[in-house]
Amino acid sequence: MSKVAVAAIDTGVWVEYINTGGKYHAQATAVIDRVKNNDLKSILPQVTPTEIYYVSRRVYEKILGKGKAQQLAAKFYEFIYHHPNVEVYEIDYQLGLRAGEIKYEYGIALSDCYLLALSEQERVSAIFRHREEEFSLKLEENFKLVFLEDYV
């Protein structure tokens, strides 16, 4: 029996999955389909599902309007939060402290700091949609990062 791969999957990947017109939709679909098919386990810090809800609601709102957007974003949140191949980690003392250290050192978004701290703690890759402007070469050297944009 082969071991299932594990990765920390960033908000951008999850949202790109639902955004059928997104630049990296095909790549995001390939990643999330692996989660759905039991080939990949996703780990997330507690803050990430909340961010996914917020961003997906904004995406849905642009396409479908406010009423339907809230319903679909909540359904997507539920799908992620309770999926058997997704594990949501509580932000404990050590994870919070490490995220703060990453924030101080790299100056990136706090939600990304939590994801990176978790990926480092669990010794897995962190998958992002694309390189953010504030991402540095040093960040890529010090963490196991995968970017959908590299697979176009």
Mean pLDDT by 10 residues, the chain (152 residues): 85 96 96 97 98 97 90 97 97 98 96 98 98 90 96 80
Residue 63 has a pLDDT of 87
- The CATH number fitting domain 5-151, selected from 3.80.30.20, 3.30.499.10, 3.40.50.1010, 3.40.50.10790: 3.40.50.1010
User: Among the residues of the chain, which ranges form H helices?
Assistant: 11-18, 25-36, 47-64, 66-82, 93-106, 110-122, 137-142
pLDDT value, residue 3: 77
Whether 108 contacts 127, CB under 8 Å: no
Q: Which residues pair with residue 125 across a beta bridge?
A: 7
All structural domains of the chain with their residue ranges? 5-151
pTM here?
0.94
Q: What is the pLDDT of residue 143?
A: 97
